[in-house]
Structure 1
Amino acid sequence: MKYLTNPRQIEAQSMKIIEGLAKNLPADPLARAVVKRIIHTTGDPQYAELVLFSGGALEAGQKALRQGANIITDVNLVKTGISAARLNTLGGQIFCYLSHPEVVKRAQLTGKTRAMTAMEYAETHLANSIVAIGNAPTALFRLLEIMEEKPQLRPALIVGTPVGFVGASESKELLAKMPYPFITVQGNKGGSMVAASIINALLYSLS
């Protein structure tokens, strides 16, 4: 059986197939590239109907990355899925505080999830960063609370795609009501690799 072995050819063919399968892809070239990257990662054309962008979110993300913004993630799977090499060339780094000893200690003392405790720990690093939350709804809820309490800490962009059946849809609905630059996914779908694929699409757009 003959099959493609060249990575570039495989990706190009995948993107061509996605164009034929996905309905209602965004007209904007960058938004289209982001949605196609999500579909490429998940194998699910339905994402073309689910991704939401706030006005100016893509531009805000590109600007932040060009200026060397750091990325804060809720879980290590998001961190490992992002192209650190591309980010590093722009001067940025990726941080996940989920397993930081102080976060673990605080979560044990308070009974809160480590994901939301990690957002609290990252508080002083939020301003002008990009926050990518792909797994934990509690992290997104807590991030939005912090921003309401301390608007001066507002990130440049929030990528919020937590997945699941408890709080995931609700946290993303709340994000979509906020006056902040965001990219999110409606409903229960999402996940760490979705969040990472959004960041990667923005990074690739700058190469």
Structure 2
Amino acid sequence: MNASCLTIKELTDAVGGGITPRMVRHYHQLGLLPQPVRSQSNYRLYTQKDVIRLQRIVALKQQGFQLNHIRQILEVEPEADTATLTAQLQQQYRAVMQQISQLRQTASALEGLLGRDRHCQIMQAEVLAQLKLLEVETQAGLGGLEKLWSGLDAQVHTHSEAFVESLQHLLPDLSQRSEIEQHLISQLVLACGDVSLVSFVRLSQDAIAASREALKSECDIFVDIPTVAAALDQTRLAHLGCQVTTLIDNPHVTTAIEAEQEFWHTQKWQEKLQQITKGCVLVVGYAPSVLLSACTAINKQKIQPALVIGMPIGFSHAPAAKRQLMQQKTPFITIEGTLGGGLLAATSLNALVESLIEKPHCHCYLKDNIVPI
């Protein structure tokens, strides 16, 4: 055996990332990895080139790319026409969005059944029993299904919606998170009506503790645009002695597009960001450039916020800004990817403020930091 060659076990150990020999063999079958040479004893033998290619596969997979997308990316030579690859990936993206749309439709149907409070559960049981026996052979037969939904929906007129109770039936298990985090996540879901948001919410380990200490200290609150300020619970913030300041102080700026352009082209807003007070809470709900600039300023130790709530909207700069935020030592709360917006950013701070006022002596968020004696 060539001393420079690796066995399949040595290959997976060198790559790491949870890769297993079984996965490597699967990648061979899919054409992601070239078939290796064999030893005289019929063992697969790998080279450093295979290690690099497998590392690329693992890295792309961790970023969310599907295996068929990864194969297309790796098959295109660096000097080849990227327009062809772009067109292929756009086609794949549309296919993925179609799948998401279909899954969203399925989720909506399940939410329509499971997200019922106790007042609707008798009718829910009747509908489930009838769905099990449902026979639909013609288009006219679909009327029976519509009738079932109409019967279920009729119950909503008898009482107001019990949001918390309904949400308990739909949320994933959050028992490993502190009570304050659970409240924060629930409020975010209620603000947008999308339970899948839970999978994308990210909090640094010290985010809750940092927020409570800052708010108790009557910290300043800085937001990117007036729309975010308008969504904040000004009454509770005033009770805590926290003053709200808008960075892009232009009442005509109300959207992510306007916020991004205004901050990018106006020097005084950029200078204003550099002057935010030490120990403040920075809330970014729209402009990716504000969060990117804040991360740069934090790295250069020009600003020292106690907490950054970073939830700008965007399809390239916003995800990049959030990734940079999550690499900072500064405590943060964010939503990975393109999801976000001023309402969600404001909701995050409002939930933290509410928890502090309602439960000022709660220490549930410290449970993960307790060191066994």
For residue 3 of structure 1, what is the aligned residue in structure 2? 159
Asked whether 1:21 is paired with 2:170, we answer yes
For residue 262 of structure 2, what is the aligned residue in structure 1? 114
Larger radius of gyration: 2
Count of aligned pairs: 189
**How much has 1:195 moved relative to structure 2?**
0.4
Amino acid at match of 1:195: A
Do the aligned partners of residues 45 and 173 (structure 1) sit closer, same or farther apart at CA in structure 2, a change above 3 Å counting? same
Q: CA–CA distance in 2 between the matches of 1:194 and 1:63? A: 22
Q: How does 1:43-62 map to 2 (within 5 A)?
A: 43-62=193-212
Q: CA–CA distance in 1 between the matches of 2:298 and 2:261? A: 19
For residue 329 of structure 2, what is the aligned residue in structure 1? 179
Q: How does 1:76-95 map to 2 (within 5 A)?
A: 76-95=226-245
CA contact under 8 A between 2:284 and 2:291: conserved in structure 1? Answer: yes
**If the length of structure 2 is used for normalisation, what is the TM-score?**
0.48
SS in 1 for 2:169: helix
**If the length of structure 1 is used for normalisation, what is the TM-score?**
0.85
CA contact under 8 A between 1:119 and 1:143: conserved in structure 2? Answer: no
**How much has 1:55 moved relative to structure 2?**
1.4
For residue 34 of structure 2, what is the aligned residue in structure 1? none
CA contact under 8 A between 1:120 and 1:142: conserved in structure 2? Answer: no
Amino acid at match of 2:352: L
SS in 2 for 1:99: coil
Q: CA–CA distance in 2 between the matches of 1:178 and 1:27? A: 22
**How much has 1:152 moved relative to structure 2?**
5.4
For residue 123 of structure 1, what is the aligned residue in structure 2? 274
SS in 1 for 2:350: helix
For residue 203 of structure 1, what is the aligned residue in structure 2? 353
**How much has 1:70 moved relative to structure 2?**
1.2
CA contact under 8 A between 1:140 and 1:160: conserved in structure 2? Answer: yes
Q: CA–CA distance in 2 between the matches of 1:152 and 1:173? A: 20
**How much has 1:67 moved relative to structure 2?**
0.8
**How much has 1:119 moved relative to structure 2?**
4.6
SS in 2 for 1:21: coil
For residue 12 of structure 2, what is the aligned residue in structure 1? none
Q: Greater RCO between the two (CA within 8 Å, min separation 6)?
A: 1
Structure 2 unpaired stretches of 5+: 1-156, 252-259, 358-373
CA contact under 8 A between 1:128 and 1:154: conserved in structure 2? Answer: yes
Amino acid at match of 2:318: A
Amino acid at match of 2:297: I
